[in-house]
Structure formats: C-alpha cells, structure tokens
Amino acid sequence: MSAENSITVAIGDQPLRLPLSVANRHGLIAGATGTGKTVTLRTLAEGFARAGVPVFLADVKGDLGGLGFPGGENPKVVERARSMGINDWRPEAPQVIFWDVFGEQGHPLRATISDMGPHLIGRILELNDTQESVLSLAFRVADDQGLLLLDLPDLRAMMNHVGQSAKSLSLEYGAVAAASVAAIQRGLLEMDSQGAGKFFGEPALLIQDLMRPGTINVLAADRLIHSPRLYGSVLLWLLAELYQTLPEVGDRDRPSMVFFFDEAHLLFNDAPRALIEQVEQVIRLIRSKGVGIYFVTQSPLDVPDTVLGQLGHRVQHALRAFTPRDQKAVKAVADSFRPNPKLDTGRTVQELAVGEALVSLLDEQGVPAVVQRARVVPPRSRLAPIDPTERRQLMSISPVTGRYDRMIDRDSAREELLRRAQGQMASGEDARAQQQQQQQYQQQQPQQPGAMDSIMNVGGDMVKMLGKDLVRKVSSQLGREIVRGVMGMILKR
C-alpha cells in the first residue's frame, strides 16, 4: 500500500495506513476523556485534506480552530514525530472554513423549516407521538395550500392557522388536539429564546459549499453542544442533505467527503427506535455516495450495535474499568477487534498511554487487519486554540465570505396567512357596513306610511273579511317588494 493512496494513522511494529479507496467504509474513534481522541481526529482530518478530500467536523470544545494554522510551536510534537521516524513531517495547515448555527464564530449555517422536516423538529422540541403527528399535519396542510415554511415565524404562524382552523381541518386531515398545538407553540417560543431560531431561514446552506477539495469545514459547537438534541439533529440533517444531493459513485479511489460526528452519544441518547433505524439506513446507503462517517465517542457502547457493525475502521484509545458498565465496554472492545495472538486486547486497552491506541483498519480489499497497539501520528497544524482575531482573519479570506452573512426574509407562510386574515377582515367589514345601511333604512321607515297602513286604508272592509293570517302574508310580501324597490332607488342615486 503506497503512502500516496493512504493516510498514515499510527505507527506500531509498522506504519498503520488507512487506504483512501475504502475510507468510505466508516469508522470509530473511541476512548476515555483525555486519552487522545481529538488528536486522532485531527490527524485523520488533515490526512484527508492533504489527499484533496473535503472534511466536515464539529468543534465541541472550541479547540480545533488551530487546524487553520501551521503547527510546530510545540517542541513535544516535533520530538514525537522524530522519535516515530516520520521523516516527511513538517508544519502545515489546510484551508479551513468556520460555520456556526448562531452565526457568532463562523459563517451562519442555516436550513429552512421545510428542509429540516417535522420529525427532526419534533425531536428538537421533545414532542410525544401525538404532538409530532399534529406537527406533521401542519406540514401537510402547508404543502397542500402552497405555503412556504422557511423560518420559525412561518411555523408559528402555521400552527396558529392549524389551531384556529382545527374544526374544518379535522374533516380532511383528522382530529387536531388544541393541547398539542399549544405544546408545539410553547416549544417554538423556547427554541427561539435560546437563539436556535437563527438556524432556520435563508439563505440556506448549499451542500456544494462543504465539498471544496482539501477543505476542512469546522462547525463551532461549543455553545450548540448545550442543546444536545439540536446538535444531533443538525448533524443528522447534514447527513440527510448529503445523501439526497450527492450522486451515486460506487467505488472510488478516494471518498467524496468525510464526516466526523463528535460526541456521537448525543445522537443516540434517548433516541426512539425509528430514529436509530433512520440513522442506520443513512449510514448504510450513504457509503454509495462516497461519504465516510467517523463517530467519535467515549465508549463503543454509546453506539447501537446495528450502527457499530457498519464501522470498519477502529481506533480505540484507553478505557478505564471502574464500573460494571466500564468492564462491559472493555469486553465489547476486545470482542470487536480481529484477534491478535500476540496481544491481550482486554488488558492492553486499560494500559494505553495518552496518544496510544488499539488500531484495526481495513485493507484495500476491505478486510479488517488484526488489532495492533500503536502510537498515533501527531497532527501538523497548531494544537493550541486560536483567538477571535485569528478566527476573523480566516473568515475574511473564506471562499464563502458574504454569501450567508445576511439573513433574507422573503414572502412565505407568515406573510400569506397574514394576507388571508386581512382579506377575511375586510370581507367582514363590508358585510357589517351593508348590515348597518340596512338597519339605518329600517329605522327611517316608521316616519312614512307603512305597507300595512296603506292596505288597511285602501280596503278596510276587505281586510275585515279576510283573515288575519292572510293579511299578514300579503303585507309581508308587499313589504319585501317595497324594501327591494326603495333599496334599488337608493343604490341608483
């Protein structure tokens, strides 16, 4: 396997290289806090970028900004590379584009409400099944009535519309529970108050802007991570967008893109079975689009078995067996690797030093190699975090500068529903005005001889001969005819 067609991940008895041709077979980076997971993530991201592969990763600790600047400032890193016999190691940095859902530490990352869909929004709002069904109904009504759902005000206006029209909508779409509408509205208000409303709107992200060869896209997630469901839903939405946008490519000499999902347990914690099945399906199918997904988490137990079974590349840092769950994780690690007769995996994983790992990578034929104990290759970019001035410097030379910075509020569901409400109000005012005119006319009638008086004066004897009922019928008909005639004269004037 040549170094040009692979990434050197670690060095044990020999260099352990990840072939680019099978990099879309997904992977797992796991280990306890402080054991070196972030260094492994950086080493892999830089390796893919040097090979011309676009990378997306989330910066949950705020310390990955240094990817945009050459390293070498840390003598320990330089000495580590020399001691590992890496002769071509030199400080360098790939192109980095910063993104931020809140638009503070990077270019705004946005999606429309319609793009996100009712299921992911329902998960962010922590809706129950009944409430999510009402939210799905609102999306269906919006589609049927041609209403664009772009931002949170659109969705709030749509929920108002559904709540006010619940009786009529229930005939076609099913019952609409007022309590569910109220719960959704409260959730949307809370989401907006936390700043998540900045994520929904236009201009929405173009996936092509994440696909620049050799570029590392860094999502500032140190604030986003405090809203775990939003964090997981944003990354899952990005995966879905990649799957829908990218063409089928089959086997390639290198992946179309590599996606790192840090703090992966946040995606699966308390996730319903339906969501896990969706994730499993996306992971299985997106490989044919040339996209590799690498989960970064503390324990392999954080990832469901159905997902874990699809992760071909494994880099396992140290685990601590302090609790029964930890001991279970150690056993899971030992059982998941292809055995090495020279290595006691269960014991070794508890003895690994910082920067060491148990590594098993697929070969060029897609066969897992036997597990080996190895030291991870040091990254070439700066390990230290960057300051706000340096971040702004990189953003100013970004290829997407100015494209997403200003939010656009175009005509959508909120405006259309407002116009409809104003039209109904105007129709109601016209009806009230016509009713007032008629009441005013009727109030003027007693000043003139009424129809009954005229009849009684003309034919008093005949009226006496007729019954009271007949008189009442004749006078009523004449009265209506007179009113119509007088109203006609008024309108002509």
397 vs 473, which has greater pLDDT? 397
Report the candidate in 237, 280, 225 with the shortest Cα–Cα distance to residue 63.
225
Mean pLDDT, the chain, rounded, equals 86
Whole-number pLDDT of residue 428? 61
Interacting residues of 39 by C-beta distance below 8 A, sequence separation 6+? 355, 376, 378, 379, 383
Q: ∠64-402-205 over CA atoms, to 5°?
A: 70
Please give the C-alpha separations between residue 407 and each of 72, 105, 107, 219, 395, in angstroms, as whole numbers: 39, 16, 11, 19, 18
For 130, the token pair is 């009944």
Specify burial of residue 367 (Cβ count, 10 A radius: 0-12, 13-18, 19+).
Answer: exposed
The CA distance from 286 to 24, in Å, is 9
Report the candidate in 347, 383, 282 with the shortest Cα–Cα distance to residue 75.
383
| Beta-strand relationship, 95-100 and 107-108 | parallel
Residue with tokens 């990763």: 57
Q: Is 87 a residue whose pLDDT tops 80?
A: yes
Buried b (16+ CB within 10 A) or exposed e, 100-126: bbbbebbbbbbbbbbbbbbbbbbbbbe
Q: pLDDT tens across 143-181, in order?
A: 999 999 999 999 999 999 999 999 999 889 988 999 999
For 449, the token pair is 């001889």
pLDDT band with cut points at 50, 70 and 90 for residue 6: very high
Q: Is 442 a residue whose pLDDT tops 90?
A: no
Specify burial of residue 468 (Cβ count, 10 A radius: 0-12, 13-18, 19+).
Answer: exposed
Q: Are 239 and 273 in contact (CB under 8 A)?
A: no
H-helix or E-strand spanning residue 220: strand 215-220
pLDDT band with cut points at 50, 70 and 90 for residue 375: very high
For 134, the token pair is 């009402």
DSSP per-residue letters across 329-362: HHHHHHHHSPP-TT--HHHHTTTPPTTEEEEE-B
Whole-number pLDDT of residue 2? 61
Amino acid at 487: M
Whole-number pLDDT of residue 1? 59
Summarize the confidence of residues 343-364 as an average pLDDT. Answer: 94
Q: Are 217 and 109 in contact (CB under 8 A)?
A: no
Q: Are 317 and 33 in contact (CB under 8 A)?
A: no
Q: Is 487 a residue whose pLDDT tops 80?
A: no
The CA distance from 63 to 104, in Å, is 16
Query: Which value, in Å, is the radius of gyration of the alpha carbons in the chain?
Result: 35
Q: Is 274 a residue whose pLDDT tops 90?
A: no
